[in-house]
Amino acid sequence: MSDTRQSLADLAALTGAAPVAPAAVVADVAGEAPVAVAPAAPTMPLREREVDAQGRSYATGRRKDAVARVWIKPGTGRVIVNGRDSVTYFARPTLRLVINQPFAVTDREGQYDVICTVKGGGLSGQAGAVKHGISQALTKYEPVLRAPVKAAGFLTRDSRTVERKKYGKAKARRSFQFSKR
């Protein structure tokens, strides 16, 4: 059986490529001929850190009709939204919980200051836009954090929006009330 097997060097010679040196040789389970094991594929190179002259990282977040421009920098954990503190801007605790989710997933609570401006939409959409922007900016500041933030689904823009109204309908899908007489 070992006569029919070809080594990596033989295959490389057939294709005209340079021979590949195997990383390790492992004995077969049944104790037959040793099998060459190729080296582990190199992981993708890390993204470069994107920081401006003031040491901040910038990203844009979107949700529904809201657009948030977000800057993060190392600090004490303050979140400023449109010139106001997040506690006063997002009065509901659930909205503050939403904007702090990227920091909770990456164990970075209280380590970054966030300054953002939000336009459009309602408070819920604005909180989602800020969360999306914080997630993007965090991965630009620390590229190592991209894996946990992406696994949590925070880097994907939530594209669900309000369905448009159609003609002949009272709303997007609701028909006018039927009158028999």
Look at residue 47 in the predicted model and tell me its pLDDT.
84
Cβ contacts of 39 within 8 Å, gap of 6 or more: 22, 23
Residue 97 included in any domain? yes
66-74 vs 112-119, strand pairing mode: antiparallel
Q: Report residue 113: phi and psi, to 5°.
A: -95, 140
Polymer length in residues for the chain: 181
Q: Indicate if the pLDDT at residue 11 is higher than 70.
A: no
Predicted TM-score (pTM) of this structure? 0.73
34-37 vs 79-81, strand pairing mode: unpaired
Beta strands per DSSP E along the chain: 24-27, 34-37, 57-63, 66-74, 79-81, 84-85, 112-119
Q: Indicate if the pLDDT at residue 27 is higher than 80.
A: no
Domain assignment of residue 120, given as a range: 57-151
Look at residue 167 in the predicted model and tell me its pLDDT.
97
Residue type, 133: G
Total domains, the chain: 1
What CATH number does residue 74 fall under?
A: 3.30.230.10
Residue 74 included in any domain? yes
Residue 115 included in any domain? yes
Decide if 72 contacts 142 (C-beta within 8 A): no
Q: Indicate if the pLDDT at residue 39 is higher than 80.
A: no
